[in-house]
Amino acid sequence: MDWTTDDIPDQEGRQVVVTGANSGIGLEATRELARNGATVIMACRSTERGQDAAQDVRADVPDADLRVEACDLGDLESIHAFADRLGDAALDVLINNAGVMAIPRSETADGFETQFGVNHLSHFALTGLLLENLHPHDASESRIVTVSSGIHERGEIDFDELQHEESYDPWDAYAQSKLANVLFAYELERRLLTADANAKSIAVHPGYANTQLQFRGPEQRGSRLRKAAMWAMNTVLAQPAAMGALPTLYAATAPEAEGGAYYGPGGFMNMRGTPERQASSERSYDEETARRLWAVSSELTGITYDLPEPNAEVSA
């Protein structure tokens, strides 16, 4: 399919939360959602950068309805505070977008390895805290979109070494966190179906998009050579961030987008192009791993969901 931003239906009256909305895929998704009438709550670690991003969007969409909120996904206390500030505000879409990639090992405020903590555990916690805001049992449908990466295909969930304390490879840790994103999205969909909820959980990936995400690892290592090499690769191979945002926008807005699906660019090596439904890795469909990851994530974050465990009828 050749779905583009021209196909986004009217979003007037819809309220959307986008994590990491101040740059890259999150910023471009925010721009197009606002252009089509949605109110976008921009959940950003830095409100200063969030306000700068909001100004950028308003320069393009003068009547954009935006709200910048602090939400540090490396700190569960900040996530709880963000959810508390939203109160019982009704949400139509939650886009779990923010992330870090292939950085040197560090830990979040809660002692989690940063990539696993920010990319997966924070979004597990945030989704659980905002589940009732997404009115899963009302007449109008809500959606939870979780942004993964094609590199999830390299990932494995090592329950004995989730935090990579014994040995650490930045790309292995990133791949694990991105596989966790897909496992979470599918398990959430199964639980929503079991609860007969009017909500969809969808996984997406942006392909190879030119964003600041790729530069954080080289910057934290202080490697000018790697940063220059990444700049060259992005210039030659990557598609613009606006194109990378299309799978996210499709999952968030297209009436025909399916719950429990995985969408990504359908062009060269699934790295560029317009969105299509794709198959994720074989490991991502392992329901036993997904259930165990869910239980571990709940234990680590202290977040429980008011959803039943999946029954056999909704199993893949």
For the record, the structure tokens of 117 come out as 């903590």
Angle at the Cα of 252 (from 270 to 284), degrees rounded to 5?
50
Backbone angles phi, psi at 65, to 5 degrees: -100, 95
How many other CB atoms are found less than 10 A from the CB of residue 293? Answer: 21
186 among known catalytic residues: no
Sign of CA dihedral 286, 289, 291, 294: negative
Burial of residue 67 (CB within 10 Å: 0-12, 13-18, 19+) is middle
Sign of CA dihedral 151, 253, 90, 311: negative
CB 305 within 8 A of CB 128: yes
Choosing from 168, 174, 186, 262, the catalytic residue is 174
CA distance 113 to 111: 7
Residues marked as catalytic: 174
